[in-house]
Amino acid sequence: MGNINYQHFTLGVEEEYMVIDPKTRELKSHEQRIVQEGQKILKDKVKAEMHQAVVEVGTDICANIEEAFKDVASLRGNIAQIAGDLGLWIGAAGTHPFSHWETQLITDHVRYNEIVNELQEAARSNLIFGLHVHVGMEDRRMAIHIANTARYFLPHVYALSTNSPFWEGRETGYKSFRTKVFDKFPRTGIPDYFENIEAYESYVNLLIKTNCIDNAKKIWWDLRVHPFFNTVEFRICDVPMTINETITIAALFQAISAKIYKLRNQNLNFMIYSRSLINENKWRASRYGIDGTLIDFGKETEVNTRALIYELLDFVDDVVDELGSRHIINYVAKIFETGTGADRQLEVFKRTGSLVNVVDYIHDQFLVV
């Protein structure tokens, strides 16, 4: 076997941030002022989202994890500065601890108006904040193979990202309630297995032909072969609280993709599991984060989630040096030590009994590396 070229595994990171009123700590509809100011500096790297209290940012196409780190840190710094100049705060968590969606304004945009018109209350209540990681692929044929296989590992990485334990002022009992909110949308969750890229494209074309969707961007799965770019887009995670957590998760998705690619180049395949089985692990990850158990389907037994994540790290170990991401992936140990964003939010709430203090903590952590 010759050396494998991992250069096409570029990275793009999209994060959704919450805009907070510093007086009330509620979400604040900012009339896109942050977006308008942000676009003067960051151009199309900052966008409006369906709810006005959400700001979406996206990095450039990054050649490696170091570039992604610098870009995410710069985006967070710029957005925090712009918001501060406008008298607003920014934070990153999968849900706001106590704001109610009913009071939040929808962005007046033809696409969002269409979605709200079609999905009604499900769309209006979808006040959540996610992380999307794009990993570049050499072609769409390889992309569907990697997407099919990577589905198994989605709950493992999702558990590390859990950052939404509160919803509308209540402790939900979940480490990630965000996905429970998003489940109301059609075409969400773990995708099915597709035999090849033609099978995937014929599925998309059937939905378009029958007026289920107008384009493939209305397929909101936890992972998808991107409709227009040669990327696999990982969409399952809550937006993490800190920069390092975001970059760790991006590095993991990149490493999983590279490892599956390497196996394929050696004519080896990882076992493919059904959507219904992977969903069991997704549910456990959303409920318990890194402190529960996941199912090892190969052994047909429950395994401590942390142990299974360590197995994932072993699985990707032989590609991380070539990707230049070992120092970042080692940060998983820090997440195990300090807890996920959800664990830390819950700890603040337990200590102070105040959701206002939880919002303050989310805001204070936004620029933490």
The matching CATH number, chosen from 3.40.1280.10, 3.40.50.20, 3.40.50.1950, 3.30.590.20, for 11-364 is: 3.30.590.20
pLDDT of residue 113: 87
H-only helix segments in 289-325: 305-323
Q: What's the average model confidence in pLDDT over 208-220? A: 94
The domain ranges of the chain are: 11-364
The dihedrals phi and psi of 10, each to the nearest 5 degrees, come to -70, 170
What gap in Å lies between CA 285 and CA 306, rounded to an integer?
Answer: 11
| pLDDT tier for residue 1 given thresholds of 50, 70 and 90 | very low
Burial 87-113 (b: 16+ CB within 10 A, else e): ebbbbbbbbbbbbebeebebbeeeebe
**What residues does 17 pair with on adjacent strands?**
55
Q: Which pLDDT band, with edges at 50, 70 and 90, does 123 fall under?
A: confident
Q: Roughly how many angstroms between the first and final C-alpha of the chain, as a whole number?
A: 39
SS3 state at 16: strand
How far apart CA 68 and CA 250 sit, in angstroms, is 9
Regarding pTM above 0.75, the answer is yes
Tens digits of residue pLDDT in 167-213: 999 999 999 999 999 999 999 999 999 999 999 999 999 999 999 99
CA pair distance 351, 348, nearest whole angstrom: 5
Per-residue pLDDT reduced to its tens digit, 62-92: 999 999 999 999 999 999 999 999 999 999 9
Q: What is the DSSP letter of 89?
A: E
| Residue 118 banded pLDDT, cuts 50, 70, 90 | confident
